[in-house]
Structure 1
């Protein structure tokens, strides 16, 4: 193993980087002016001890520790087991979030069993609908499967900031800057996933949640003066 890889995989190095990233996220949130809109139904459920499923685009993960009201309930996010995803998980844990690493070696059945176990414990679940590797803004059916299996309500969340940089990653992740205006939007996805939905119905529901995610993200962008994302072609 090369020295560079040993350093990159070092627990000490990874934890140090995670602490630096967490400090930056806290500074961005502390120095900015952030509005929180549409959270009342989600807050009410959490006050009743009812877990939910939270869905967002991978592009808007940078401030994920502030998407969910951690003072009202616990949330477990689904991250990638790869190095970048592992770093996201480390950072989120520093804010008090729980995480489950999703790897190519873990069967979907095993992952779903672990997720449903968390929900039965009263822990909400957060997932990037197009993560961890894309394609960008194309939702998977995973949130639908978990909504059907758990019967829990689904909320989509978006974040945007007036001043920020798009990273050169597959998802063009938005990295908000300090001292910016920003907004967190939350909206319930009100469709129901039937127990015996056929492929056509699952596809319709997948497009439905994808469309709502795009709508709420575009709305957040417009509220802070950013140009909304437009699909290629």
Structure 2
């Protein structure tokens, strides 16, 4: 059962056209924890990665995109390197003919993991800021070039989220 907080965020009101949100998660213990949290927020987890179940997950994501869903993918893949776009997300967006929208987020107070991705976990009552970048429509060009452009855009949104979240706070 979703918490009252989760129900608050999921309830958007009748004037907002809500689309299904598909979120790619790994088939690991960490993925299972994320899956549990996503369901509380009304999001649909799709299990798979480049190393396990990726083809099936990509098919499911493509089917959802073509049906009008929104797909959420962490762009740096299951092993990194951090903030470097894998070409899988670009290929999927190209095939589905949908834009890629870089998003960044930050929270204070939070704890940062010492893992390769340096993931942060917001602490209770944290101030959270999310920044949405400009959509990029893959034009069928070289995926590696677009990956570099998207990584730069992602870094910009991440940096802006940190600045906005920490504005007015003592260091």
Structure 2 length normalisation: TM-score?
0.80
Aligned-residue RMSD, C-alpha: 2.6
Contact 2:100 2:138 in 1 (8 A): no
Partner of 1:217: 158
Which of these residues, 71, 76, 85, is aligned with residue 130 of structure 1? 76
Q: Which runs of 4+ in 1 moved over 3 A?
A: none
User: 1:86 Cα shift?
Assistant: 2.0
Matched, 1:116 2:89: no
User: 1:82 Cα shift?
Assistant: 1.1
Q: Which runs of 5+ in 2 are unaligned?
A: 10-15
User: 1:178 Cα shift?
Assistant: 2.5
Q: Which runs of 5+ in 1 are unaligned?
A: 1-18, 31-45, 48-71, 227-233
Give 1:72-83 correspondences, 5 Å limit: 72-83=18-29
Contact 1:155 1:189 in 2 (8 A): yes
* Distance in 2 separating the partners of 1:180 and 1:82: 27
Structure 1 length normalisation: TM-score?
0.60
User: 1:175 Cα shift?
Assistant: 1.4
- SS of the residue 1:139 aligns to: coil
- SS of the residue 1:136 aligns to: coil
Give aligned pairs, total: 159
* Structure ranking higher in helix proportion: 1
